[in-house]
Amino acid sequence: MRRRLAMLALVYVVALAVIAVFSPMIVGTKPIVCRYKGQIYFPALAYYNRSWEPAVFQRDRFRNVYVGNLKEKDPDSWAIWPPLYQDPNRRVREGEWPGQPENPTRDEGSPNRFNWLGTNRAGVDVLAQMVHGARTALLVGFVSMGIAASIGVVVGALAGYFGGWIDMALSRLIEVVMCIPALVLILALIAILERPTIWHLMAVLGVTGWTGIARLTRAEFLRLKELDYVTAARALGVGQSQIMFRHVLRNAMAPVLVPITFGIASAILTESALSFLGFGSPPPNPSWGTLLNAGRSAIQQMWWLIVFPGIAIFLTVLAYNLIGEGLQEATDPRLSEAD
Amino acid sequence: MLDYLIRRILLGLGTLLLITFVVYGLIRVMPGDPLLVVMESMGPDKQPRPEDIERMREMFGLNDPWYVAYFEWLGRTLTGDLGNSLSRKAPVASLIAERIGPTLMLSVSSLLLTYLLAIPMGLYATARSNRLDERVLSTALYMLYSLPSFVAALLLQMLFAIHLRGTPFELPLFGMVSDNFDTMSRGEQLMDLFRHAVLPVTCYTYASLAYYSRFVRANMQEVIRQDYIRTARAKGVGPTAVLLKHAFRNTLIPLVTLIGLTLPTLLSGAIILEQIFSWPGMGKLFFESIRERDYPTLMGLMLMFSVLTLLGQLLADLLYAIVDPRVSYS
């Protein structure tokens, strides 16, 4: 039962990752592939990074609207479009796409045929923001936990393997970081930055979220370094770092994966909480938390700004928690149902 | 034991010094300072003269490098003076004292509710292990555990403050008291407070409820496999008595130590929840002080949070030794 739930969660996470990676090909207003003046371009890539927008379209004054301009400026051009013509950053106007009306603004954009999950006050499609927001959420989850895991594993490994005063000093460090409430530390670090970007946010989440991983790694190293194969390796003359990272770490990795998985859930949660509080990623990055924040100020009328991103955050956090639990059960023999 | 206590307290003081030093540094590097924030909020015609600004900067110690200002702050704090808030013209201690009540009101009632509900739920889940109703309960609790409190808060606000408006179930959107609180009678005032507290307390409680009841259940499952439980069963002790007298008593140890670890959350409040519900507590004060770059208030709050966290850890370890005679620190 539990294992099946964990597998289901894994399927959800993989599906979400696919949506996130291919978000510009699912919903967007830029062609996935187009041929323009004899050249092949991939304008949709601009959703990943602004500067990847082919310069020719700026020179020809497309102003981000490809549909009419392509045919008008080059009658021989062709393009393959994403299945949903909506944009996560701007409002789709009248006549842009044949047969699709202008996006409603203010509180009139309840879910309809063209905006499946409604629009926000400025008329930007919510589904488009959610799909592109998945990219932000997963990116934050993986990058920040990647940073946290590297710091945590190194600190924990050093403390556990060498012991003595190194352990003493590193344990104090862990204690200090643990003692400062995470949100306080994050808010303070973000406030330091004049104009925080999504990458700063990930770095901050990374440097504050490693303590749990470090503690567990330290405990694993304390246990593993006493084992015979470590003594054997040392007797063979293997170097310290070789023993630590090649022999001990590999055996410590399975239990350490558990706090990492839970950490991804909490990083996604923290990112959306920060965006919700208005400290999150700046406007060009659509985020689930930003949608919620907009929904909070329009709580009287626009339920769709709260319900849909809320469900997305909830399901994603739930999925990572379930996977973490599945891993925990698989790696900790005490938890398996022995009776 | 005494040795251990002294060593832990000394270590804790060292940690505390380190934390406050780091945090003070962090706070001072934030762009903008309290004077700039105040000046931005005033109209262009009311701007103070440059020499006044200079005088105020000197007075607040903003001209000193941050490490110098830190030691000034430390010296004053050691004499028991947390300083004055820069943006509110009041002593930090009294500002904090003002906000402690509302936060405690939320956190204590939620903690009591959690313990009152989580223990029976955990026991029930153990007794009915692997039956349908237990699975439904456990799954529901697990889902609640993964539901972010700010999402739940928004959904509850939408349901009770907007969709149920005009019905007897209507609850206020935010705030701690209504506008006409002063004109109410004693009973009405209590009712008003209660109605305002329902949603925040619910949000505060549900996630920890899920955590605690799973904690109780996990501990119970470990105990229930012990030999002495089998012996008790074999002797013919009834299932309820086995569960309560033989098993549950032996899971009290981790439960008691958990109390120590919850100590800091009692006062730190939930920053996000207090913000959503405009609850005038510590979390909101902290948030406002960050916005206003109110260094003394921020430091006062941080000092309090860190002391509580360290004390909580110490308390948890001590309680552990007290309730479990096998553990000793001497």
Instruction: Tell me the average pLDDT of chain A.
Output: 82
Domains: count for chain B: 1
A276 CB neighbours in chain B (<8 A) are: 150, 272
A201 and A97 part of one domain:
no
Burial of A167 (0-12, 13-18, 19+ CB in 10 A): middle
Min Cα separation A252/chain B (Å): 24
Q: Is B291 part of a structural domain of the chain? A: yes
What is the rounded average pLDDT of the residues A61-78? Answer: 75
pLDDT at residue A283, rounded to an integer:
67
Instruction: Note the helical H segments in B30-131.
Output: 34-41, 50-60, 66-78, 92-127
What is the rounded average pLDDT of the residues B164-176? Answer: 79
pLDDT at residue B128, rounded to an integer:
84
A88 and A134 part of one domain:
no
Instruction: State pLDDT tens for residues B216-237.
Output: 888 888 888 888 888 988 998 8
Quote the domain boundaries for residue B101: 92-323
Phi, psi of A36 (to 5 degrees): -140, 120
Residue that is written with structure tokens 């928690």 in the block: A321
Burial string for B285-311 (b: 16+ CB within 10 Å, else e) reads bbbebbebbbbbbbbbbbbbbbbbbbe
A109 and A206 part of one domain:
no
CA distance B240 to A115: 56
Min Cα separation B24/chain A (Å): 10
SS3 B321: helix
DSSP string covering A238-270: --HHHIIIIIIHHHHHHHHHHHHHHHHHHHHHH
Best to test chain A binding among B20, B146, B222 (most A CBs inside 10 Å): B146
List the single residue in B with minimal CA-CA distance to A276. Answer: B150
A193 and A112 part of one domain:
no
Q: Is B45 part of a structural domain of the chain? A: no
pLDDT at residue A315, rounded to an integer:
92
Q: With a cut of 60, say whether residue A337 has pLDDT above it.
A: no
Q: With a cut of 60, say whether residue B27 has pLDDT above it.
A: yes
Inter-chain residue contact A321 with B142, CB threshold 8 Å: yes
**pLDDT band, very low/low/confident/very high, at A14 (cuts 50, 70, 90):** very high
Q: Is B62 part of a structural domain of the chain? A: no
**pLDDT band, very low/low/confident/very high, at B126 (cuts 50, 70, 90):** confident
Lookup: tokens for A298: 């329009």
CA distance A170 to A173: 5
Residues in chain A: 339
Q: With a cut of 50, say whether residue A246 has pLDDT above it.
A: yes
Q: Is A13 part of a structural domain of the chain? A: no
Angle, vertex CA A294, rays to CA A290 and CA A297, nearest 5 = 140
pLDDT at residue A148, rounded to an integer:
93
Q: With a cut of 70, say whether residue A333 has pLDDT above it.
A: no
pLDDT at residue A336, rounded to an integer:
53
Angle, vertex CA A328, rays to CA A323 and CA A331, nearest 5 = 125
* Distance between first and last Cα of chain A: 16
A73 and A216 part of one domain:
no
In Å, what is the CA distance from A213 to each residue of A109, A151, A217, A253, A264?
44, 9, 6, 11, 12
> Among A34-43, A311-320, B49-58, which stretch is predicted with the lowest mean pLDDT?
B49-58
From A84, A116, A148, the end of a domain falls on A116
Answer for the pair A77, A37: CB distance below 8 angstroms, yes or no: yes
Best to test chain A binding among B20, B27, B150, B294 (most A CBs inside 10 Å): B150
The DSSP element (H or E) to which A125 belongs, if any, is none
What is the rounded average pLDDT of the residues A55-64? Answer: 74
Min Cα separation B205/chain A (Å): 17
Name residues 297-326 of chain A within 8 A of B (Cβ): 299-300, 303, 306-307, 310, 313-314, 317-318, 321-322
A140 and A192 part of one domain:
yes
**pLDDT band, very low/low/confident/very high, at A339 (cuts 50, 70, 90):** very low
Q: Is A5 part of a structural domain of the chain? A: no
Q: With a cut of 80, say whether residue B18 has pLDDT above it.
A: yes
From A89, A116, A143, the end of a domain falls on A116
Q: With a cut of 50, say whether residue A338 has pLDDT above it.
A: no
Instruction: State pLDDT tens for residues A74-119.
Output: 777 788 888 888 888 878 777 777 777 777 777 777 777 777 787 8
A289 and A324 part of one domain:
yes
Q: Is A22 part of a structural domain of the chain? A: no
Burial of A275 (0-12, 13-18, 19+ CB in 10 A): buried
- Residue A163 backbone zone (phi > 0: left; psi -120 to 50: alpha; other: beta): left
What is the rounded average pLDDT of the residues A308-312? Answer: 91
A171 and A282 part of one domain:
yes
pLDDT at residue B136, rounded to an integer:
87
A211 and A312 part of one domain:
yes
Lookup: tokens for B285: 């004060």
SS3 A280: coil
Looking at the partner chain, which of A192, A314, A334 has a beta carbon nearest the beta carbon of B146? Answer: A314
Q: Is A72 part of a structural domain of the chain? A: yes
Q: Is A309 part of a structural domain of the chain? A: yes
* Distance between first and last Cα of chain B: 5
Q: CATH number, domain at A307?
A: 1.10.3720.10
**pLDDT band, very low/low/confident/very high, at B269 (cuts 50, 70, 90):** low
Quote the domain boundaries for residue A57: 28-116
What is the rounded average pLDDT of the residues A8-23? Answer: 91
Q: With a cut of 80, say whether residue B238 has pLDDT above it.
A: yes
Min Cα separation A46/chain B (Å): 31
What is the rounded average pLDDT of the residues B250-257? Answer: 79
What is the rounded average pLDDT of the residues B182-209? Answer: 85
Q: CATH number, domain at B166?
A: 1.10.3720.10
pLDDT at residue B329, rounded to an integer:
66
Domains: count for chain A: 2
Instruction: State pLDDT tens for residues B292-306.
Output: 888 888 888 888 888
Q: Is B19 part of a structural domain of the chain? A: no
**pLDDT band, very low/low/confident/very high, at A281 (cuts 50, 70, 90):** low
A300 and A189 part of one domain:
yes
Instruction: State pLDDT tens for residues A223-237.
Output: 888 888 888 988 898
Inter-chain residue contact B302 with A183, CB threshold 8 Å: no
pLDDT at residue B182, rounded to an integer:
77
% of chain A surpassing 90 pLDDT:
11
Q: Is B26 part of a structural domain of the chain? A: no
From A82, A116, A150, the end of a domain falls on A116
Inter-chain residue contact A172 with B148, CB threshold 8 Å: no
pLDDT at residue A277, rounded to an integer:
82
B290 CB neighbours in chain A (<8 A) are: 187-188, 191
Instruction: Note the helical H segments in chain A.
Output: 2-21, 23-26, 55-59, 67-73, 126-162, 164-179, 182-192, 198-208, 211-224, 228-235, 240-242, 249-277, 288-297, 304-331
Instruction: State pLDDT tens for residues A114-139.
Output: 777 878 877 788 888 889 889 888 88
Q: Is B43 part of a structural domain of the chain? A: no
What is the rounded average pLDDT of the residues A273-289? Answer: 79
**pLDDT band, very low/low/confident/very high, at A154 (cuts 50, 70, 90):** very high
Amino acid at B255: L
Q: Is A226 part of a structural domain of the chain? A: yes
Q: Is A23 part of a structural domain of the chain? A: no
Q: With a cut of 50, say whether residue B177 has pLDDT above it.
A: yes
A146 and A101 part of one domain:
no
**pLDDT band, very low/low/confident/very high, at A1 (cuts 50, 70, 90):** low
Q: Chain B residues with CB-CB distance to A under 8 A?
A: 11, 14-15, 18-19, 22-23, 26-27, 29-31, 135, 142-143, 145-148, 150-151, 154-155, 157-158, 161-162, 173, 222, 225, 264, 268, 271-272, 275-276, 286-287, 290, 302, 305-306, 309-310
A197 and A56 part of one domain:
no
What is the rounded average pLDDT of the residues A279-293? Answer: 79
Q: Is B304 part of a structural domain of the chain? A: yes
Instruction: State pLDDT tens for residues B33-81.
Output: 777 766 766 666 666 677 777 777 776 667 778 888 888 888 888 888 8
In Å, what is the CA distance from A108 to each residue of A89, A97, A307, A309?
18, 21, 16, 18
Residues in chain B: 330
**pLDDT band, very low/low/confident/very high, at A145 (cuts 50, 70, 90):** very high
Instruction: State pLDDT tens for residues A194-218.
Output: 677 788 888 888 988 898 899 889 8
Q: With a cut of 90, say whether residue A152 has pLDDT above it.
A: yes
Q: Is B293 part of a structural domain of the chain? A: yes
Q: Is A85 part of a structural domain of the chain? A: yes
